[in-house]
Structure 1
Amino acid sequence: MFLELDGQGPLYDQLTRALKASILDGRIAAGTQLPPTRELAHELEISRTTVLAAYEQLRAEGYIDGRVGSGSFVSHLQARPLAHHVSTDIDAPSRYAERARKVRNWDIPRMHRGLRYNLEYGYPMINPTLNNAWGRELARAAVYTRLNAVELAGLGVLRKQTCDYLARRRGVQAEPDDVLIVTGTQQAINLAARVLVNEGDPVVLEEPHYFLAHQALAAHGAELVSVRTDEHGLICSELPEQSPRLIYVTPSHHFPTGAVLSMQRRLDLLHYAERHQCWILEDDYDGEFRYDAHPLAALRSLDEQDRVIYVGTFSKVMFGGLRLAYMVMPAALRADFLNAKYLTDMVCPVIEQAALARFMEDGGFERHLRAARKELKARREMLIAGLKEHARDRVEITDTPAGMHMVVWLRGYDAPRREALVAYAHEHGLGLHPMSPLYARAPERQGLLLGYCSLSVNELREAMRLFGQCLDYMEQA
């Protein structure tokens, strides 16, 4: 217990005043058991008699209650606020902190609590079977994992399983030494910024874009260059003449529109990177989930110049709390990425890595993927059916048979009317999330990003019925 004696008068008076101040300031909460007299005397290096005298004085004044056989407890008093207050309105301690304050905009898709049907993107599907299987793997890993085993790049067994998986499912050929295990896609983006980007360096982002990538790179001080996308993905002919340091892309399933980067544009992008000696950060955030065909080969699989940094995630595939993802590093950047990871947080949690490696090795990961694809396909189909039934021709559906979200465009809506629709839906328990924050420039039309991963088929049916009612209300308003 931290107590500061003021040095004025007898020791028992000093201790009494120090305890009173702590109780009244709320530093020692009501109901808290005070240390035994012998223990506190030993800690403060004073006599037990002094502590007994202070406790007796506090008890007499009603600050503490004594319970026979249990000790002394703080009475329930009205604590006064702390005399000192730390102002939150201060200058940012660094340029990074100042930029981070500006870009961390909570109007961008955020968590809405208390909504019955929240169509927010980013929440993986809840799979009770996975929960049980994962619990067993964690329990086993906790027993058999060497807890002092620290591998900076990640456990070798997990990196080996990751390589095997990427070769089978994404066409990426990599060795375990090429793989770095990180705590999520966001850490991968931040590591790439640390390794490659100085303040003021140009970095290309798709337009529209993944908002957290935009925030991370802007906070780092990059000069962001937005390049338009269409139904075939990034328009490579509009890439800047000035060589950027980094190009961030989501080629297998553009976020948020769902467009797939065409083969010709993939080759054009790789040729551009070679000519301009820049790097490509490929975010393959949901490449596992395609419902009409086999998963597409990753951009990295076409890269002959070793200029693509490939990022994949286990968290979106399994559950958000896992916080494990991976990077396939170009050989020229391997040492720099390892240094950046070491200086950031050294290593990822070992037990979770060991559990995931075994889960992949015994086929549990692939079984989960098959079940998840089947369920997500059913949810996507229900979302589309519900939109057609209840929204009808009032929306335009951007139907991409992949991923965990969908974009719909509102016909006849301007920005104020869209804001009114979102607010009305929120009041009635439906979370709708606009597309506009995902653009560097105001979009020409108003759209919604509908995430369907975290709602069941029945919940999506009801959500679409409620969405139709909200559209009806807006027509009458």
Structure 2
Amino acid sequence: MHLELDGHGPLHAQLTRALKSVLAGGGGIEVGRLPATRQLARDLRMSRNTVLAAYEQLRAEGFIAGRVGSGSYVTPSAKEGDPPARSLPETRPPQSAFARRGRRYHQHAQMPGRATPGMRYAFSYGVPYTNPALIDAWSRELTRAAAYTPPAYPMTQGLPALRRAVCDYLARRRGVQALPEDVLVVAGTQQAMSLSARVLLDVGDGAVVEEPHYTAMREVLQMHGARVDTVDVDAQGLRVDRLPDPPPRLVYVTPSHQFPTGVAMSLERRRALLDYASRHDCWIFEDDYDGEFRYDARPLAALRSLDRSGHVIYVGSFSKVLFPSLRLGYLVIPPGLREDYVNAKWQDDFGSPAIEQAAMAGFIGDGGFERHLRRTGRALEERRSALLAALHRELGDELDIADSQAGMHLVAWLRRFSPGGVDALIASARQRGVDLYPIAPYYSRPPERGGLLMGFASMSVAEIEQAVQIVAGCLRAMPDELAWPR
């Protein structure tokens, strides 16, 4: 008997599929006895247990039948069907409106700032600074949490210990006063927006995002059927005076460190936005993705700390300050929306993983989280200073640097070259082992100038200086025809 394994999945499953194919297609086997399991195991050079498991599966599905003391026999019905296809044809079954919107709006772009394989240096943004001390500390917390976390389903809203720890942390660091029952633990900012779209918006409702903006948030809103408008950001943040009429149901903002420009929303604009939401009864989704890291002063108080009418939904993410694979964040919800959000979270996944929640609660409670923030803040400030110094030294006449005094990236605008020159610069730098990233994809309308997002968390000071030297050489070698017309 010739059997061809497909190489996908456990060996017993591969053998089961191969036997089905031979039985259904004939393969020289009549309705008769199969080889003994010991003999087939020797022929195929695999364990008898693997063959036994495959035979048991075929017996359960009616392909073979066993006779006591006689062996296993092929059933007549085994030949009635077509042989199993190695891959199913790509069909286009009827899709839901949600699925159609997903195909239309989701661009399947790579994750923000992810390094291209093979690059020696990468100005990755959106990638937090990590060190061995954090990995060791987190491993200890996970081990401790696994020993005492009950194996049952966790509370949908999140472990009480973590929700209390979040409240204590936000009161100290972000000026947000909240009760544990106001907090919902989620799988990062992306799920927070998905839940918000379901709870707050009907298909056709209006929503506003900043221009430029984090495109994943716009796509989530569009996939849920919202009509999404953009409103410009200037040096003081969102242009509240340009919010549309009629007003939207939801406004998405990053006030502490606007993504991607890096500006902080002024106090005047914050108050104007809160007044707008109160007057028009619309919701503000405050994405505080890396507000902990500031280099000129203490972190700014969150917009939620100024809210007196209960219109701000505050979102924080542990993934951005620890590591993205954690997929853990939280919402602070106005009281009137608690039940609706918890219902939506239950419908999504019953609740976030309990062991990771318990570990995070312990990490915050014993001071490890804030020690990590202090160490990370010092390391980021050193790297940011090195990047600024290198850019001014090597490219001071070529770039306008928009330093935000916060976060893990800055924006550099090209002076001499048109936006098309950015692509040529990126291609040239990658040929020399340096990954650069354009800012243009985060605009719904192309910016007038070409700009780069330059993250500084993932490289050492020495690597930053070496990478800037390479970029400087690439920029100075750019052809004159890509320069602005004079």
Normalised by the length of structure 1, the TM-score is 0.86
Q: Which residue among 207, 210, 213 is the counterpart of 2:214?
A: 210
Shift of 1:87: 4.1
Q: Which residue among 92, 99, 102 is the counterpart of 2:101?
A: 99
Secondary structure at the counterpart of residue 197 of structure 2: helix
Q: 1:151-166, aligned counterparts within 5 Å? A: 151-166=155-170
Secondary structure at the counterpart of residue 11 of structure 1: coil
Following the alignment from structure 2 to structure 1, what is the Cα–Cα distance between the partners of residues 55 and 435?
57
Q: Which residue among 112, 125, 149 is the counterpart of 1:145?
A: 149
Given residue 253 of structure 1, which amino acid in structure 2 is its aligned partner? H
- Kindly provide the CA deviation profile for residues 57-103 of structure 1, in whole angstroms up to 9, marking residues without a partner as x: xxxxxxxxxxxxxxxxxxxxxxxx98554344736722222222233
Following the alignment from structure 2 to structure 1, what is the Cα–Cα distance between the partners of residues 50 and 212?
63
Hey, what does 1:347 align to over in structure 2?
351
Hey, what does 2:8 align to over in structure 1?
none
Deviates more, 1:214-223 or 1:344-353: 214-223
Are residues 420 and 278 of structure 1, via their aligned partners in 2, closer, same or farther at CA, if it must alter by over 3 Å? same
Secondary structure at the counterpart of residue 124 of structure 1: coil
Following the alignment from structure 2 to structure 1, what is the Cα–Cα distance between the partners of residues 71 and 55?
6
Are residues 476 and 84 of structure 1, via their aligned partners in 2, closer, same or farther at CA, if it must alter by over 3 Å? same
Hey, what does 1:118 align to over in structure 2?
122
Following the alignment from structure 2 to structure 1, what is the Cα–Cα distance between the partners of residues 174 and 262?
18
- Kindly provide the CA deviation profile for residues 284-318 of structure 1, in whole angstroms up to 9, marking residues without a partner as x: 00010011101111110110110100000111111
Following the alignment from structure 2 to structure 1, what is the Cα–Cα distance between the partners of residues 260 and 123?
14
Percent identity reads 47
Shift of 1:110: 5.6
Given residue 271 of structure 2, which amino acid in structure 1 is its aligned partner? L
Shift of 1:105: 2.4
- Kindly provide the CA deviation profile for residues 91-141 of structure 1, in whole angstroms up to 9, marking residues without a partner as x: 672222222223332557463222111212111112111111111111111
Residue pair 1:199, 1:222 contacting (<8 A) in 2 also: yes
Q: 1:196-235, aligned counterparts within 5 Å? A: 196-235=200-239
Following the alignment from structure 2 to structure 1, what is the Cα–Cα distance between the partners of residues 450 and 307?
36
Given residue 387 of structure 2, which amino acid in structure 1 is its aligned partner? L
Hey, what does 1:328 align to over in structure 2?
332
Q: Which residue among 449, 452, 465 is the counterpart of 1:461?
A: 465
Residue pair 1:107, 1:437 contacting (<8 A) in 2 also: no
Secondary structure at the counterpart of residue 166 of structure 1: helix
- Kindly provide the CA deviation profile for residues 413-470 of structure 1, in whole angstroms up to 9, marking residues without a partner as x: 2232221111121222211111111111111111111111111212111111111111
Hey, what does 1:274 align to over in structure 2?
278
- Kindly provide the CA deviation profile for residues 376-396 of structure 1, in whole angstroms up to 9, marking residues without a partner as x: 000111111111122221110
Hey, what does 2:92 align to over in structure 1?
90
Unaligned 5+ residue runs, structure 1? Answer: 21-29, 55-80
Q: Which residue among 315, 319, 326 is the counterpart of 2:323?
A: 319
- Say if 2:66 is the partner of 1:46: yes
Count of residue pairs brought into register by the alignment = 440
- Say if 2:188 is the partner of 1:170: no
Residue pair 2:32, 2:73 contacting (<8 A) in 1 also: no
Following the alignment from structure 2 to structure 1, what is the Cα–Cα distance between the partners of residues 325 and 135?
12
- Kindly provide the CA deviation profile for residues 9-34 of structure 1, in whole angstroms up to 9, marking residues without a partner as x: 43326x79xx99xxxxxxxxx87646
Compute the RMSD of aligned alpha carbons.
2.6
Are residues 390 and 146 of structure 1, via their aligned partners in 2, closer, same or farther at CA, if it must alter by over 3 Å? same
Secondary structure at the counterpart of residue 478 of structure 2: helix
Q: 1:43-442, aligned counterparts within 5 Å? A: 44=59, 45-47=65-67, 83=85, 85-88=87-90, 90=92, 93-106=95-108, 109=112, 111=114, 112-148=116-152, 150-442=154-446
Are residues 137 and 86 of structure 1, via their aligned partners in 2, closer, same or farther at CA, if it must alter by over 3 Å? same
Residue pair 1:37, 1:51 contacting (<8 A) in 2 also: no
Unaligned 5+ residue runs, structure 2? Answer: 1-12, 60-64, 75-82, 482-486
